[in-house]
Amino acid sequence: MIRKSALVTLLLLTAGCGLSPRHRVWYDPARTLEQAKQDIERCYYEAFLTEQGNAFSPGFADDKKDPLMYVEISAQRCMKQSGYSRAWADELGPAVRQEAGFVHRMPYFIAGGYPSLPKTKN
């Protein structure tokens, strides 16, 4: 029951942030939106696999009480290690696309640039 209530609370808090014009997204100016999506999905999958294997990291005293929080914290660490930082969505320029989605029912907000066009010789 605690697990379901924690998930509902997390979803409501995150959804509330998503409806706000001023929410935070994972962003790396060197990456496209497609790359950001692959990275966030990889980070969440790795976090879920670690949680499922009960391979909790040292320093997470409440991991076993709240596995969804562990997954969220692990995914955040992974994104930071992958070169992403949190940016305010409304401060990104028009050349940046944004997307919201879910991985295993965990919401995410990402941003990235448009793919580069192939260079042609004149």
What would the pLDDT profile of 55-97 be if each residue is shown by its tens digit? 555 555 544 557 788 889 999 999 999 999 999 999 998 889 9
Question: For residues 45-81, b (16+ Cβ closer than 10 Å) or e, as one string?
Answer: eebbebbeeeebeeeeeebeebbbebbbbbbeebbee
Residue 115 pLDDT exceeds 90: no
SS3 100: strand
pLDDT, averaged across the chain: 79
Tell me the HSE value of 116 on the side-chain side, using a 13 A CA sphere: 6
